[in-house]
Structures are given as structure tokens and as C-alpha cells.
């Protein structure tokens, strides 16, 4: 049978990197096996899932390069692929389970359930459902129906042990005594996750279910549902959680956690794809690998058992590598939106000329704004640059301006020759001689290489900034 796996989120906001990694592992597994990757939207919780969130999800997946063979916007023979469009399917299955005495109506109110669980805890017993409504007589059920009491539908587990052979976690047996009768259909006619996911995985022909380990506890109950359907369950693989530096589940307190946020910060999709692929799985000693090679090497059984720590610094290091590998024209195209977002009115030609000199200094695309702003706007030296200018004194900057004014060919090599002569004649180190010039012309002590920066800025603006900084400098003490 051809491999079929899915990513089935309940989108309620931006795509968390944990969900993105789960989608990525499913996608790589499907592509490695030459199978199908299906996107299914679990949107039965109308209080959480919005249309905007669904659109955000699809856009984030597309940005990462994760295309789906079946699902919203792609179609497929197993659709529809949104659970709100499959409610009748779930109700038909629930009715069939009840007709076969595999499920029964439960009239217990939330208050009654809470009271009984509290009493069980007080007795030192597990706070699970006690099966009361399974033992109701026909007369007792009729009485509840007559008073109009709402009823959920519970699946009767039968007390059977269930063994899960997980592709990542290995084999685990769940004692039947620990698996309580569980709700499959709420009293309002909306299915629970346990039923809807199992029905969809069955009807859509999923061969493998790769999902977060937080859903591991639901697996034995869904396997019991597959048995009730008269079908073999898929193979399960539960991926460990992603944690922060403090080993706690990754959340906003650790910084950026959403795919959209990393995109806005200037992380390349190629870098985030590569980084997430290595969160909990290793293809070997190499860390920078194109997605085709990651797909070729991917092995779900080699995913580690313990949580993977998210390291933003390593992601930025990897992003810097991918930035340096981009052709200048491509890097220019990717940088331009970030310059516009920073309010910089940049032209493509100047940026194209500048990117060869900044790509070695960039870890994110957003950093291009700080590095290139001086080329497109008049700048005021920042606090650090002002200190450097003040320390050098006006005479040094005036001499630099005078020497540069005599340069005939305004090119980086000639600019370097002139400023080197100034440095050597002054008895200053290169840093002492050149850093004040950099601070004056770029407004910062961090910029593209100095001589290329001056060439790109042009003679007139360079001399004007040097003269202005010299005039504004305090007198030497």
C-alpha cells in the first residue's frame, strides 16, 4: 500500500514551530516514501478556529515549501478535508457504534462528573469515569430522555489491554483498567477529537500518523475505535516536544516561536526548513543539507526519544550560511521588502551593488536595513559612533575629507590607498584612523566594508558628512 500521512492541525493562530516540525516530518516521510502528504483541518471547535487562522496556516506551510497532495485548495478523492464539512460522516459512525452496542448515551452532567471524580480522589482511586450510564436500565434511560436531559455518547472500551508499537517510542501496553469509557460525540452533536481523527484517518486511508507526543495517550483509544470499524490502525509515531533553554515546553516566554514571526525577522525558509528537520533527528555529521538530501536520508525511526532544545542562535548561524549562499540578485530581491518595511526608499541597483559587501555580516534579512540605511537617507551618528568621532577630533576628519576630495577615480581601491596613507602618516592604528571615518559617513560603527561603503555613498555625500561631523565635533581637550 502506498504511504499516506497527514498534518491535521486545529489552527487558532500562527503556526508554532512545534506544529511546523510535525508537518515537516510528515512531509519528508511522504516524499521519502514517494507517498502522499495530506493537509486536513480539524476545525470543529468554532470558538478557537477562525478562517483567518486557516489561511495563515496554509500560507506558512507554503512559505516553508511544504506542498500537500490532497487537502484544502488541492482537492482529492478522500475529501472534504475540513472536519466541519464532515459532520454527517461522524454522526453516521456514532449512530452505527450505538446501534451495535459499542457506544451508549451518557446523561451525566459536568457537575456530577466533577463531584464523582473528586470523591474517587478522596478514596485514593483514579479519577476516571465510573461507567454509571453504561449500567442504566431501559426505564432509567427513558426517564432521562423524558426530562430532556442532554446526552453525550460514550464508547464502551470493554476493559481490553491495548499495545501500541510506536515507531519512535517503541512498544507500550496500556492496561484496559486504565482506559475509561470515553466520549465520542458531545451532547450538541459535535464529535470529539478522538472520534473525528480516527474516522478521518480510517476513511482517508492513512497508513502512518506522525504527531506530537502530547497525543500519545489518545492512541490506545483510537486503536479501539479502529477495531470497532473493523479496520487495521495506521502506524503511529509520536514526536517528542520542542523545549526552550530551560527545558520547558517552547513558548512565547522564550522569544519567537511562530513560523510567521521568524519570517518577519528575516529567517529564510530554506534555513528554517533545514533547522527544523534537525530538531530531534540527525542525518549524520553534516548540518547544512538541501531539502532533497534531507528527504533522501530521512528515517522516522531514527527520531530521538527525548525533547529537542530550540536554539535561536544556531538558527541564525544557519540562516547566515544560507544568506551567503544566495546569488546577489536573489538576495537583493529578498532584502527589498525588509528595506521597505523599515521605511527605506531603496533602489534595486544600489542594493544589488551593496549586497556582496553585507552578506558576510548578516544573520537575518532584517539586518540589511541597519547596514544599508546610510546609503539612502541622511544619517545622524548614533551614540557609539558619536563617541568615536569625538575621540578622534575634528582635525582627523577634516584631513580625511581633504585627502578624499583629491581622489580622481572614486573607486574602493583608490579610496583605500588614500585612507591608508592618512593612517600611516598619522601614527594611528587602522582601527583608530578608519573607525571615525566610518562613524561619520555611515552613522554607525558597524557597516559594510568601509571603502566599498564610501564608493557606494558617492563623493559628494561622503565629503559632506565628514565635514559636518568635523564641524560638530567638540574641540580637542
Residue 228's SS3 state is: helix
pLDDT for res 472: 52
DSSP string for residues in 136-194? --HHHHHHHHHTT---EEEE--TT--EEEEETTTEEEEE-GGG---EEEE-TTSPBPHH
pLDDT for res 88: 97
User: Is residue 284 located within the same domain as residue 408?
Assistant: no
- On whether residue 424 sits in a domain, the answer given is yes
Helices (H), 326-458: 328-341, 348-358, 367-376, 383-392, 394-405, 412-426, 430-442, 450-457
User: Is residue 183 located within the same domain as residue 257?
Assistant: no
Tally the domains of the chain: 3
- On whether residue 299 sits in a domain, the answer given is yes
User: Is residue 203 located within the same domain as residue 72?
Assistant: no
User: Is residue 126 located within the same domain as residue 73?
Assistant: no
Q: Which domain range does residue 134 map to?
A: 86-239
pLDDT for res 120: 83
Angstrom distance (rounded) from CA 46 to CA 454 = 58
User: Is residue 53 located within the same domain as residue 75?
Assistant: yes
User: Is residue 93 located within the same domain as residue 221?
Assistant: yes
- On whether residue 327 sits in a domain, the answer given is no
pLDDT for res 37: 98
Angstrom distance (rounded) from CA 16 to CA 61 = 11
- On whether residue 208 sits in a domain, the answer given is yes
pLDDT for res 251: 84
pLDDT for res 117: 87
- CB of 385 within 8 A of CB of 444? yes
- On whether residue 361 sits in a domain, the answer given is no
CATH number, position 193: 3.40.50.620
Regions of the chain with pLDDT less than 70 = 1, 472-477
Angstrom distance (rounded) from CA 264 to CA 338 = 8
Where a domain ends, among 264, 291, 309?
309
Angstrom distance (rounded) from CA 419 to CA 404 = 8
- On whether residue 368 sits in a domain, the answer given is no
pLDDT for res 128: 86
User: Is residue 98 located within the same domain as residue 217?
Assistant: yes
User: Is residue 161 located within the same domain as residue 197?
Assistant: yes
Where a domain ends, among 239, 255, 287?
239
CATH number, position 382: 1.10.10.350
Which segments of 199-287 are extended strands (E)? 208-212, 235-239, 242-243
- On whether residue 367 sits in a domain, the answer given is no
* pTM for this model (two decimals): 0.92
Where a domain ends, among 239, 256, 273?
239
User: Is residue 189 located within the same domain as residue 79?
Assistant: no
- On whether residue 319 sits in a domain, the answer given is no
Q: Please tell me the number of Cα atoms within 13 Å of 393 on its side-chain side.
A: 7
Please confirm, yes or no, whether 252 is among the known catalytic residues.
yes
User: Is residue 107 located within the same domain as residue 198?
Assistant: yes
Catalytic residue among 58, 118, 160, 252: 252
User: Is residue 106 located within the same domain as residue 160?
Assistant: yes
User: Is residue 235 located within the same domain as residue 97?
Assistant: yes
378 Cβ contact list (under 8 Å, min separation 6): none
Amino acid at each position: 500500500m502506498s504511504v499516506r500521512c497527514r498534518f491535521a492541525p486545529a489552527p487558532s493562530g500562527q503556526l508554532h514551530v512545534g506544529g511546523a516540525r510535525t508537518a515537516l516530518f510528515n512531509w519528508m516521510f511522504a516524499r521519502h516514501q514517494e507517498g502522499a502528504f495530506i493537509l486536513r483541518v480539524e476545525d470543529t471547535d468554532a470558538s478557537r478556529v477562525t478562517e483567518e487562522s486557516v489561511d495563515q496556516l496554509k500560507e506558512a506551510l507554503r512559505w516553508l515549501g511544504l506542498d500537500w497532495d490532497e487537502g484544502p485548495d488541492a482537492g482529492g478523492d478522500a475529501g472534504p478535508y475540513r472536519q466541519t464539512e464532515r459532520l454527517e460522516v461522524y454522526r453516521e459512525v456514532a449512530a452505527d457504534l450505538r446501534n451495535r452496542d459499542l457506544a451508549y448515551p451518557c446523561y451525566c452532567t459536568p457537575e456530577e462528573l466533577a463531584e464523582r471524580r473528586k470523591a474517587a480522589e478522596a478514596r485514593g482511586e483514579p479519577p476516571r469515569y465510573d461507567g454509571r450510564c453504561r449500567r442504566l436500565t431501559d426505564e432509567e434511560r427513558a426517564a432521562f430522555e423524558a426530562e430532556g436531559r442532554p446526552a453525550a455518547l460514550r464508547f464502551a472500551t470493554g476493559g481490553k489491554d491495548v499495545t501500541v508499537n510506536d515507531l519512535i517510542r517503541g512498544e507500550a501496553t496500556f492496561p484496559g483498567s486504565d482506559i475509561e469509557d470515553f466520549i465520542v460525540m458531545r451532547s450538541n452533536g459535535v464529535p470529539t477529537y478522538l472520534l473525528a481523527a480516527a474516522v478521518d484517518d480510517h476513511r482517508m486511508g492513512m497508513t502512518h500518523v506522525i504527531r506530537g507526543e502530547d497525543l500519545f495517550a489518545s492512541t490506545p483509544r483510537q486503536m479501539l475505535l479502529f477495531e470497532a470499524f473493523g479496520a487495521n490502525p495506521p502506524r503511529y509515531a509520536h514526536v517528542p516536544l520542542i523545549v526552550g533553554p530551560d527545558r520547558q515546553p517552547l513558548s512565547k516566554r522564550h522569544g519567537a516561536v511562530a513560523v510567521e514571526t521568524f519570517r518577519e525577522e528575516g529567517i529564510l525558509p530554506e534555513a528554517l526548513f533545514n533547522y527544523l528537520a534537525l530538531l530531534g533527528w540527525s542525518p549524520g555529521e553534516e548540518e547544512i543539507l538541501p531539502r532533497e538530501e534531507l528527504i533522501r536520508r530521512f528515517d522516522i525511526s531514527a527520531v530521538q526519544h527525548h525533547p529537542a532544545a530550540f536554539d535561536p542562535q544556531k538558527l541564525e548561524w544557519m540562516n547566515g550560511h544560507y544568506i551567503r549562499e544566495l546569488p546577489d540578485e536573489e538576495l537583493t530581491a529578498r532584502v527589498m521588502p525588509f528595506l521597505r518595511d523599515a521605511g527605506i526608499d531603496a533602489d534595486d541597483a544600489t542594493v544589488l551593488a551593496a549586497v556582496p559587501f553585507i552578506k558576510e555580516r548578516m544573520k537575518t534579512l532584517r539586518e540589511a536595513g541597519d547596514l544599508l540605511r546610510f546609503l539612502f537617507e541622511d544619517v545622524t551618528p548614533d551614540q557609539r559612533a558619536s563617541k568615536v568621532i569625538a575621540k578622534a577630533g575634528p582635525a582627523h576628519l577634516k584631513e580625511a575629507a581633504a585627502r578624499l576630495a583629491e581622489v580622481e577615480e572614486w573607486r574602493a581601491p583608490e579610496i583605500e590607498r588614500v585612507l591608508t596613507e592618512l593612517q600611516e602618516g598619522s601614527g594611528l592604528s587602522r582601527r583608530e584612523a578608519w573607525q571615525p571615518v566610518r562613524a561619520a559617513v555611515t552613522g554607525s560603527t558597524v557597516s559594510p566594508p568601509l571603502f566599498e561603503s564610501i564608493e557606494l555613498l558617492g563623493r559628494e555625500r561622503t565629503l559632506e558628512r565628514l565635514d559636518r561631523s568635523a564641524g560638530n565635533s567638540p574641540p580637542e581637550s
